[in-house]
Structure 1
């Protein structure tokens, strides 16, 4: 039996490195990524870089605001500490994103565990540095207007656009393949009406630059205990509270650390941009509720895809049911199916999809 042909990303990595020291592919939802020594230099000057290509038929669960992550990283250089630099090599006519050597924060301190104070300090520093940028000074091509058509400071409108994206692009856009599964789990389009009723009237806050996906797997701890922030593809301009809510939702800090990070965030962004933390005490629970609701739609699809790829239906069903329970209130789900019912729905979907 002949081996499968190399993907275009793998072939490109092999070509650039003379097939010497190609590592990968690395786990990534949106890209097939390999790491190679810096091309065109003896020994790569001790640096390694990423070679990647977009995966085919990828489902995007979040809005993208910037055309190129590499362009964005160049613009962030000197403004946000510990972000990967982009190395340009004229002979190749392209820039290579430097691979940060180290371990993900999640591999050292798993979700639910506290992170050390030094790591927390660096994250708070990053939030403060991002708060200094309102987007007008970022020479980066955008996929959309500064805030997707929302007026500056319109936090309620900003959140509504995120709800709209989840409804139109994640839910309705994937109905042909996943509609029966959503229905089996008791989820329909009325959930978005309920969600909008649940999260109305956020206070106005001045918009600034946001990472959009700041969690343990996007934080790299190097040998000197520095925390590097990677994966800026979901960066955007918008309500500062969205970045904090996303961070807290994904990090799953112990309660004491979550409260401390929140207080430190509020003090830091407010000291940089007046009003950036306005009425966070009222609004933060609402934005976190949006993240819990959003996870229902993304995780139903991700769970189905995981089952299709051979993951245990029983294990996936347990995890998905926890997501449904967490998102039940903001979506006004009258009844969350049992673990066995979730497992049965996933199994039926796999069989009906012929996967």
Structure 2
């Protein structure tokens, strides 16, 4: 009997009925969790493991995930707030268990596989991304609530400085484990300090909900060509120009796609959200570049330490990190240009020193 009900559960397309069934029957929810855990690791993200079971996706926090990016909200709270405004354009929360959750499985291909970085993105996906930005302005800030330590609505300067402070704290904490590597790579003790003067000149703009991690791995392209936006664990509230800067930094668009996206955004976003956007976009892009230099250094070291990588894979990662560090170095005033050999030696020093 349990087997019949379980098969019906994971094949059901009525999400409301599925939620009701899981909430009413703890044994069935436990069975779903057990089946998913047996398959854990089939799909994985930086912060969560995602396991498909029929028409459902079970989501578990990834053990040992780094905390370089501070959370403002619990992901499930975000999903509940955006559901009335985004519908199936975003992850659909079906059930929340203790330490795990169930989402509707989204049929389609991850954009990273369909269009890798540097390759053109389907125009329908670009249009859906702009539509996402616009729809997020409709989510009332009161539905989420601003944390007591957060800048007031419209305080773009306070928001920008808060992001820089959060990144600086993450960097400072990382020096406990990676200080030797940071020194070898020439990272300053306060790499984000170079951004403070520019951040104090940001134009005030109204706050809205931000996805804050919108890259090609977090966009699923359905068979009909439309996009679904997933992985909302880093969502926050703040200046939309920061959102688009972070998105551009992560996506590595072609110049044509970049221009198309910006033009559509300027057409559809409220005028108050785009006021003074050009200068501030460059400021936020540089803030992202500095933050990436720190975070990517840590993640490359950890990946090389924990995973069995081929020489080609290591070389590709080192080459990308070299570019990231040299780009950020120009922002914080580093005179020396690093070579891939120097970066490889610094990363390897941490491994050998264990």
**TM-score tier (shorter):** 0.7 to 0.9
2:303 is matched with which residue? 306
Q: Any idea what the Cα deviations from partners look like across 1:28-85, whole Å, max 9, x if unmatched?
A: 1112332223xxxxxxxxx2221413423x2222221112x22321221120141122
Deviations 1:199-245 (A, max 9, x none): 44111101111111111110001122220000011111101101100
Tell me the residue number matched to 2:15: none
- Corresponding residue for 1:41? none
Alignment of 1:129-140 (within 5 A): 129-136=135-142, 138=143, 140=144
Aligned to 1:52: 60
Query: Which position in structure 2 is the counterpart of 1:79?
Result: 85
Instruction: Say whether the 8 Å CA contact 2:203–2:280 is kept in structure 1.
Output: yes
Separation (CA, whole Å) in 2 of partners of 1:331 and 1:275: 31
Distance across 2 between alignment mates of 1:306 and 1:185:
17
**1:71-110 paired onto structure 2 within 5 Å:** 71-81=77-87, 82-88=89-95, 96-110=102-116
The aligned counterpart of 2:53 is 36
State the alpha-carbon separation in 2 of the partners of residues 255 and 111 from structure 1: 12
SS of 2:106 mapped into structure 1: coil
Question: In structure 2, the residue corresponding to 1:318 is in which secondary structure?
Answer: helix
Q: Distance in 2 between matches of 1:201 and 1:275?
A: 17
Are the counterparts in 1 of residues 51 and 59 from structure 2 also a CA contact under 8 Å? yes
| TM-score computed with the length of structure 2 as normaliser | 0.84
Name 1:267's counterpart in structure 2. 267
Match of 2:284? 287
RMSD: 2.5
Corresponding residue for 2:202? 202
Aligned residues: 321
Match of 1:278 among 275, 288, 292: 275
**Cα distance in 1 for residues equivalent to 2:130 and 2:319:** 34
With the length of structure 1 as denominator, give the TM-score of the two structures. Answer: 0.83
Compute the displacement of 1:134 (Å).
Answer: 4.2
- Give yes or no for contact 2:212–2:246 (8 Å, CA) kept in 1: yes
Counterpart position of 1:9: none
Q: Secondary structure at the match of 1:79?
A: helix
Asked if the contact 1:105/1:220 (under 8 Å) is kept, the reply is yes
Q: Which residue of 2 aligns with 1:42?
A: none
Question: Which deviates more from structure 2 when the two are superposed, residues 219-228 or residues 189-198?
Answer: 189-198
CA–CA distance in structure 2, aligned partners of residues 252 and 79 of structure 1:
28
Cα displacement string for residues 123-178 of structure 1 (whole angstroms, at most 9, x for unaligned residues): 11111101222411x2x577x33xx431221111111111111111x211111110
Shift of 1:276: 0.6
Q: Which residue of structure 2 lines up, in the alignment, with residue 171 of structure 1?
A: 171
Moved more, 281-290 or 148-157: 148-157
C-alpha distance in structure 1 between counterparts of 2:319 and 2:188, whole Å: 21
Question: How big is the shift at 1:255?
Answer: 1.0
Q: What is the DSSP-based 3-state SS (H/G/I as helix, E as strand, rest coil) of the residue aligned with 2:151?
A: coil
Structure 2: runs of 5 or more not aligned: 1-27
Q: CA deviation at 1:117?
A: 1.6
Please give the residue correspondences for 1:121-136 in structure 2 after superposition, counting only pairs within 5 Å: 121-136=127-142
CA contact (8 A) 1:134 1:237 kept: no
Unaligned runs of at least 5 residues, structure 1:
1-11, 38-46
Q: Displacement of 1:282 after TM fit?
A: 1.5
**After alignment, is 324-333 or 299-308 more displaced?**
324-333
More helix by share: 2
Cα distance between partner residues in 1 of 2:199 and 2:136: 25
User: Secondary structure of the equivalent of 2:220?
Assistant: strand
